[in-house]
Structure formats: C-alpha cells, structure tokens
A and B are shown apart, each in its own frame.
Chain A
Amino acid sequence: MPGPTLTLFVGFMLLVLALVKPLGLYMANVLEGRPVWPLRLAAPLERAIYRLCGIEPAREMGWKAYTAGLLLFNALGALSVYLLQRCQRWLPLNPQQLPNLAPDSAFNTAVSFVTNTNWQGYSGESAMSYLTQMVALAVQNFLSAASGIVVAIVLIRGLARHSSGTVGNVWVDLTRSTLYVLLPLAVLLALALVSQGVVQTFSPYREVRTLEPLTYQQPGTAPVTTQVQTLPMGPIASQESIKELGTNGGGFLNANSAHPYENPTALSNLLEMLAILAIPAALTYTFGRMVGDTRQGWAVLAAMTVLFLALLAVLDWNEQRGNPLLAALGVEQTPSATQAGGNMEGKETRFGVAASALFAAVTTATSCGAVNSLHGSFTPLGGFVTLFQMQLGEVVFGGVGSGLYSMLIFAIVGVFIAGLMIGRTPEYLGKKIEAFEMKMSSIAILVMPFIVLTGTAVAVSVDAGRAGAGNPGAHGFSEILYAFSSAGNNNGSAFAGIAANTPFYNVALALVMWIGRFWPIVAVLAVAGSLAAKKRIPVSEGTMPTHGPTFVVLLIGTVLLVGALTFVPALALGPIVEHLMLWGSG
C-alpha cells in the first residue's frame, strides 16, 4: 500500500474515532431532552412545534402506538414525495421546465427516499425541479434519517429500562433528532462544502462558451457543431450535506458525489466521508452511555471497525492492482509521484484509487449509497467488497440508526448462540433473551436475504429483468444481484450499468426497499417493547460479559456467519467467477 494511501486510511479512521465520544454524548443528551448551549435556544421552537401538533411531550407511548405513529409518518412522507414529482410541472422553482415524472418512476423514488435508500432510477439534473429536490427529496433525507435514529433510541431504551410499559414519544424523538442533531450538522457541513465549490443557488442552468467547438452526431440526424456547454445549477450544497449525514446517498446530480459540483476537492471528499460515518459510529457511544456502561458501546464499535478495515484493505488492494487486460495494451497503471495509477475506469482524477476505495468502503459499510466512483467498473474483488458489505445487513457502522439497531439484533443472536453453547439462558445487558425476542430477531435478520435472493432470482428468470443488465456475462448478473442487495439493505448505490428505470425494476425494487426497511423496524420495535417490560436480572458468575474481546469476536463471527452462509452461492456466480476469468485469461 503506497504511503499516502496508508496515511489517508489511518488518519481518516482516527478522525472518525475522535468524533465518536463528543457526538455520541451530545446525542444521548439531546435525545433525552437535555440540549446543550447554544442549541437550547431552539427550545422555544421545539415547544411551539408540540403545541401546533397537539403533542404532549411528557406522555410516553407503548411500542405498538410508537410503531403505528412512525409508520404513518413515513407513509405520509411517501405520499408527499410521490405527489410532488407528479405535479412538478405546475409548481414553482422549476427553471428548466422539467416535466412530471412517470408514475412507476415517481413511485420508486418516493419509496426510495422514505426508506433512506435513495436508489435513483432517474437522472437528477434532467428530471427533478429545484422544488422537488428541496421539498420532496431533501426533506426525506432528514426525516428518514430521523426515523432511523428514533428506532435505534427505542431499542436502546428497551435495554436500558426495566419493568416499563412505554418506550418514549415518537413525535418528540423525531422532532429532537431533526432539530438538534441533523439540522445543525447539516448547516455546518453545507457551508463547508460551498467553500470548496459545491454550488448553492436558485439561478437557472448556466451556459458558457467553451474553448474549442465540438462536433457530434446523434444516430439518424445530421452532425451538430456547438461551442456551448450548459452547466447545471441548483441548491446543491444544502442537499449534499444531509445526503451524507443522514446516510441517504441520493445525489442532486446523476454522477452523485463523483460530480465536481457535488464533491469538488479532496477536502470536500474527506468531509463527506466523515459525515457519512459520524452519526452511525457515534451512536455506539450514545448506546453505551444510555445503558450506563460505555464499554458496551465500544465493544460494538470495535466489531464494526475490524470488519471495516479488513474489507477496505481488500478493496483498495484490488483497485490499485488495476486491470490486466489494459496492462496488456501498453497502458501505464503503476502508481507514482505523478499519477494515481490503478483501475481508473469510472474514477475521478482528484480522488484517484485510494480516496475512491475509501469512499466506496464507507458508503457500502453504511447504508449511504452516495458514490464518488462507479462501483460497476471496479475490479471483480473490489466490487465484491461493496456488494458483500451491503449483504452483511448494513451493520458495519450501517445507516443512521439502522446500523446500530441491526447490529444490536446481531448481538442478541450472538449471546443466544453463546448461550446454547454453554447451556445457559442467554441474557444481554441484564435482560433475559427468550422465545419472543429470538423470533422477532430472526425476522429482523432473515427478511433481508429472503427478499434480496428472491428478487434476484425472479429478475434473472424473466425477460424484463434480464433486459436490464448492461454488461455481458457474470458482470451482468452482478448488476442485478447488486441492485436487489442495495434495495433490500436500503443502500441505494448501484452497479450503474443496469438499466433500471423500467416498470419492472421500479416496482420490484420499490417493494424490496419498503419490506427491507419497515419489516425489520417493526420487529426491532417489538423486541424493544418486550425488553423494556422485563425485569433486570443481576449480574452473576454465569453472566457472559458483553464488553470484552471474546464478545467482539463472537459478534463479528455471527455477522459473517449469517452473511456468508446466505450469500456465498450467489456471490460465486458473480464477482468470483468474474475474478477467475479476468486473472485466469492472461
């Protein structure tokens, strides 16, 4: 690994870890109603919101009422995003006079943004008006992230409380997550991004006169010569910042964070990567703090970090190694002081291999799905890492909130397996893990592989599904498997060769996204409600500690076991075959 690459990876990880405690502590405080200065100034706004909505903030809910409220809130969001897309032609802030979106595309995008997936079948700069971007899409970037946070907080409360019939007030939790956590961070990051060159304006697209004239031809028409280049504009930075902070990933522009107007410099790239990992990583500290034992949070964070670094190393090594078929053509791929080298197809010069590999690892470890390079042009094993990180269930940091609650479910399964091995009733943080918790945890974990593999199987069996593959052979299969893995895990990135803006994929992927998001959420909230009601049992000699290295290994083992056993056969048909073909042919 070249020196600057190693420095980048180690330095980045240290920055993330440095953020964990302050941000985690802050979130624990504000989510329990103790906002610190200067955000206490927003307290009157918070109270005004409750009055307006008829919310009694002190009144707590049981898990069923909490779940019903959260689902309703998200359903309203989906309806709003759908309607705004279907009416944008007649609404203001549409300087390019873009038409309304087709029903299947609008449906897919509505589900996609509400589920924190941000899978994008459309191309931002040629499909969405400024109003749709701001009020439909960016709003859901906030609210879907807040929804993830509140589910994680409820699961933590389930573990922290005992003999309690309630788990919190969903409206209060949603308001506080948005007002005190997401909004202030988004403001700071948006301004930092503008300073680097991310566009923020309501002006229409801008035309410039290029240095050289350009002649091109569309099939069946006469050649055209032009010296005009049209530059997309819009309120990009405000959307870009929450897109990363909320692990949403839906780009304002088609090329997402590879677009120079979304991610112009190496520094903006670093800030975006930090923003993606900040909240998911810090929530582990929030967890430790709220259950009264910060070692519990560090153990979960350690498991995530180990998995992340191991997979990142595989990804970077393969991308830096380059493509043997291009080397055979006499192309210089070796890294040096004057070039990044490696596999540069689908990568930007300013990021090279190292910052592209790191971004790809960050965005698929979390459920973000923003991309600064095209995963579909990665080497087979580089692409394998991005695919596999999603298929582990987005628990390597994972999405905002969803990463922590999914990982805690794996922890519950882990102590259950350990309990079976040593013949004791499993317990986690003083709570007995019994049949109901195990049933709900199994549902939360297994629904994802079920819908991903079923969806992939259906898609490769029907003409409408196979027609989407943009590359021949094993890579085409990987594109389809990636699409369903991305949807089922609410990631949203793609092997973008796939042509997925078709009625088949729009509907199939929307269903997978919706089930992949809300089925586990209901199961997790059920576990939380059940745990909250239980008595706490005192620590005894037979209690397995859940904060030491043994537990970290157990947790990593559980995640890998479930992920590997479920997906290895499918992965063998895609990236693994492709790897053997690429390196075996020379």
Chain B
Amino acid sequence: MDKPRFSPFLASLRPALVLFLVLSVLTGFLYPLLITACAQLLFPRQAQGSILVRDGHAVGSRLIGQSFSDPGHFWSRPSVTTPQPYNGTASNGSSFGPLNPQLIDAVKARIAALRAADPDNLAPVPIDLVTASASGLDPEISVNAANYQAARVARVRGLAPERVRALIAQHTGGRLAGVLGEPRVNVLELNLALDALK
C-alpha cells in the first residue's frame, strides 16, 4: 500500500490537474469536432436542422412546429412558449398539474376557438388539439386531430373534403415496425402541400 509522505490531496494535485485538462480537451473539443465533421459529411441536411425550402426561401424546419390561426390551414397543437407561441428560442411547456384551474380554463378557451372556427363540427375535440406539448414546438398532431379539422379546411378553401382527407393520408406517419411512434401528421408539411394545391 502506498503511504503518501504528505497530504494525499497534495500528492494528487498534478495527476488530477493534468488528467482533467487532457480529458477536457479530448471530450470537450476533439470529440464534438469529430462528430460535427462526420455529421456534416454523412447527414448534412439533418445536422443543419432539417430546413424546408419553398421558392428558394427557408420556410421552417420539418422538426419544429409553427403557429397557425388561418382557418384555411391545419392548426398545430397549442404552445405556451413566451412571449409568442412556437418561439424557437424558448422551448417550454405549461407544467400545469391536472387539477390546476388554469389548465381547465385554457382547455375551455381552446375548445371554444376550435368550435368558433367550425360551428357545424359537433365531434368531440381530440385531446392533443387542446393540450400544450412539452417542448412548445411539437411539429405534429394526431391523425384524429387532422381529420377533425379536415371539413373546416376544405370548406374555407373550397376544396372537396375527399381531396383534403387524401392529403392527410399522404402525410400520415405510422408506427415504425408496428411499434415505434404514434399515428401522426406533420402540420407544416401538410400545410405546405395544401398551399401548393391549385
């Protein structure tokens, strides 16, 4: 057994300090640089944020949701980021507990807004359309939430409802291997496709 002649802390000082610096360089600089280089080479689009381009302009990311309030577009899930919804630099959710009166009031207001935009629709409102996501940037809604809005979008745009439903089906992501993920629709991609219809 080693018997340090002086305090064990002092004996450890040089290895502790130098090892800390060496491992910091290795894991703090070289490792992220290596990953960045490989990522830019192998997956440049994903590494840069999966940006969607229309007419030469970046219109968003397929992974980051946007706020829609035009009844002719599909609406995203409610977002509670501040000061504006879908603020990309302030991801956040509500953290309201299930009994919080503010949660109940917010859900009531969201139901009222959906009903006001589509008074004839008497179907129950899908839960994801009236609850805030965890990130405040959820790019997707459930297939149920898209179907719920289909009649409204078709009416406002003067399209046949079947055409809108077909578009939803085209943009529906299923479960990977039948297990992974939930049935869902990417709202920005769906709205881009909708805008592209003549």
Contact = CB atoms under 8 A, between A and B. Distances in A.
B98 A345 contact: yes
20 contacts: A143-B23, A186-B31, A190-B35, A208-B61, A211-B60, A230-B88, A231-B64, A232-B91, A255-B137, A329-B107, A329-B108, A331-B125, A337-B143, A344-B128, A345-B103, A349-B128, A376-B95, A377-B95, A377-B98, A475-B99
A372 B40 contact: no
Contacts of B35: 187, 190-191, 194, 200, 235, 237-238
B47 A199 contact: yes
Contacts of A333: 127
Contact of B127 (A142, A339, A474): A339
A78 B154 CA distance: 58
Interface string B83-112: 111111111111111111101100110010
B164 interface: no
A143 B193 CA distance: 47
Interface stretch (A47-55, A396-404, A435-443, A562-570): A47-55
B129 to A, nearest CB: 9
B73 interface: yes
Given A218-B83, A337-B183, A332 B98 contact: no
A68 B36 contact: no
B26 A183 contact: yes
Contact of A183 (B27, B87, B128): B27
A276 to B, nearest CB: 17
Interface residues of B, number: 114
Interface stretch (A260-268, A295-303, A520-528): A260-268
A326 B107 contact: yes
A340 B184 CA distance: 9
Interface stretch (A20-28, A59-67, A484-492): A59-67
Most buried by A among B2, B32, B94: B32
A68 B16 CA distance: 10
Contacts of B96: 345-346, 376-377, 471, 497
B4 interface: yes
**Which 8 A/B pairs are nearest by Cβ-Cβ distance?**
A266-B181, A475-B97, A258-B134, A165-B1, A497-B95, A255-B91, A339-B142, A352-B182
B128 A339 contact: yes
B132 interface: yes
B43 A345 contact: no
Interface stretch (A69-77, A150-158, A279-287, A416-424): A69-77
A238 B60 contact: no
Interface in A207-222: 207-212, 214, 216-218
Contacts of A4: 175, 178-179
Interface string A220-246: 000010100111110101110010000
Contacts of A186: 31
Contacts of A61: 1-2
B70 interface: yes
A53 B29 CA distance: 19
A511 interface: no
Contacts of B11: 65, 68
A259 B92 CA distance: 9
Given A208-B58, A209-B57, A73 B16 contact: yes
Interface in A345-375: 345-352, 354-355, 371-374
Interface of A: 4, 7-8, 11, 49, 52-55, 59-62, 64-65, 68-69, 72-73, 76-77, 80, 123, 125-126, 134-136, 138-139, 142-143, 165-166, 170-171, 174-175, 178-179, 183, 186-187, 190-191, 194-203, 205-212, 214, 216-218, 224, 226, 229-233, 235, 237-239, 242, 253-255, 258-261, 264-267, 269-270, 322-323, 325-326, 329-333, 336-352, 354-355, 371-374, 376-380, 470-475, 478, 495-497, 578, 581-582
Interface centre among A54, A139, A174 (most CB of B within 10 A): A139
Contact of B50 (A197, A253, A325, A337): A197
Given A211-B73, A471-B97, A495-B95, A54 B68 contact: no
A51 to B, nearest CB: 10
A199 B49 contact: yes
B156 interface: no
B192 interface: yes
B142 A340 contact: yes
Interface string B159-180: 0000000000000000110111
A92 to B, nearest CB: 11
Contacts of B57: 209
A442 B103 CA distance: 43
A443 to B, nearest CB: 21
B198 interface: no
B17 interface: yes
A171 B83 CA distance: 48
Given A194-B47, A345-B94, 15 more contacts: A68-B12, A190-B39, A211-B60, A229-B88, A233-B48, A242-B27, A253-B91, A266-B176, A266-B182, A326-B104, A326-B130, A347-B131, A377-B96, A471-B97, A472-B101
B197 interface: no
B153 interface: no
Contacts of A134: 28-29, 32
Nearest to A376: B95
B124 A331 contact: yes
Given A260-B135, A332-B144, A229 B1 contact: no
Contact of A212 (B68, B124, B138, B140): B68
B128 A340 contact: yes
A513 to B, nearest CB: 20
Contact of B19 (A73, A242, A347, A374): A73
Contacts of B125: 330-332
A214 B65 CA distance: 13
B149 interface: no
Contact of B180 (A138, A258, A270): A270
A135 to B, nearest CB: 4
B116 interface: no
Contacts of A174: 19, 23
A41 B108 CA distance: 62
A200 B8 CA distance: 42
Nearest to B18: A53
A139 B97 contact: no
Contacts of B93: 255, 258, 345-346, 374, 377, 496
Contact of A135 (B22, B28, B85, B107): B28
